[in-house]
Structure 1
Amino acid sequence: MQAILHGFLLALGLILPLGAQNVFVFNQGANHKKLRTAIPVVITAGLSDTFLILLAVLGVSLILMTMPTLQLIIYIIGFIFLLYMAWSLWREQPTQLKEQGSMSAKKQIGFALSVSLLNPHAIMDTIGVIGTSATIYEGGDKILFTISTIVVSWLWFIFLAVCGRMLGSIDKTGKYILILNKFSSIIVLIVSAIILKNIIDLIF
Structure 2
Amino acid sequence: MLQPFIHGFILALGLILPLGVQNVFVFNQGALQPRYSKVLPVVITASLCDTLLILLAVLGVSVLIITSFWMKMILIGGGFIFLLYMGWTTWNSKLSNEKEEMVHKFSLRNQVLFAASVSLLNPHAIMDTVGVIGTSSLKYQGEEKVIFAFACILVSWIWFLGLSLFGRISGKLDKSGRFLLGLNKISAFVMWGAAVYLVISLFS
TM-score (norm 1): 0.83
How many residues were matched structurally?
Answer: 201
- Asked if the contact 1:97/1:173 (under 8 Å) is kept, the reply is no
Q: Contact 2:46–2:119 (CA<8 Å) still a contact in 1?
A: yes
| Residue 143 (structure 1) aligns with | 146
Residue 119 of structure 2 corresponds to which residue in structure 1? 116
Secondary structure at 1:77 match in 2: helix
Any residues of structure 2 matched to 1:25-36 within 5 Å, and which?
A: 25-36=26-37
- AA aligned opposite 2:135: T
* C-alpha distance 36-46 of structure 1, shift in aligned 2 (>3 A): same
What is the CA-CA distance between 1:25 and the residue it aligns to? Answer: 2.1
Asked if structure 2 preserves the Cα contact closer than 8 Å seen for 1:57 and 1:130, the reply is yes
1:16 and 2:17 aligned: yes
RMSD value over aligned CA atoms?
A: 2.5
Q: Are the aligned partners of 2:12 and 2:152 in contact in 1 as well (CA < 8 Å)?
A: yes
3-state SS of the aligned residue for 2:67? coil
Cα pair distance change 1:166/1:79, threshold 3 Å: same
Could you list the per-position Cα deviations for residues 54-86 of structure 1 after superposition, in whole angstroms to 9, with x for gaps in the alignment?
Answer: 111111121133222232223333332333322
Residue equivalent to 1:181: 184
Q: Distance in 2 between matches of 1:166 and 1:66?
A: 44
Q: 2:33 & 2:45 partners in 1: Cα distance?
A: 16
The residue aligned with 2:39 is 38
2:4, 2:144 within 8 Å by CA — same for their partners in 1?
A: yes
Any gaps of 5 or more consecutive residues in structure 2? none
Residue deviations 1:118-141, cap 9 Å, x none?
334333332443222222222122
Q: Give the secondary-structure state (helix, strand or coil) at the position aligned to 1:65.
A: helix
TM-score, length-scaled by structure 2: 0.83
Aligned ranges for residues 146-161 of structure 1 at < 5 Å? Answer: 146-161=149-164
After superposition, give the CA deviation of every residue in 1:71-113 in whole Å (9 maximum; x if it has no partner). 2223333332333322322232327644112351444444434
Q: Which residue of 1 aligns with 2:169?
A: 166
Gaps of 5+ in 1: none
Distance, in Å, in 2 between the alignment partners of 1:94 and 1:139 is 48
CA-CA distance at 1:162 after TM superposition? 0.8
Q: Which amino acid aligns with 1:25?
A: V
For 2:187 and 2:177, how far apart are their aligned partners in 1?
A: 15
Runs (4+) off by over 6 Å:
none
Worse-matched range after superposition: 145-154 or 76-85: 76-85
Is the Cα–Cα contact under 8 Å of residues 31 and 168 in structure 2 kept in the other structure? Answer: yes
Question: What corresponds to 2:200 in structure 1?
Answer: 197
Q: Is the 8 A contact 1:81 1:114 kept in 2?
A: no
CA–CA distance in 2 between the matches of 1:108 and 1:78?
A: 21
Q: Percent identity between the aligned chains?
A: 50
| 2:24–2:184 Cα contact (<8 Å) kept | no
2: distance between equivalents of 1:27 and 1:162?
10
Tell me which amino acid in the other structure corresponds to 2:189: I
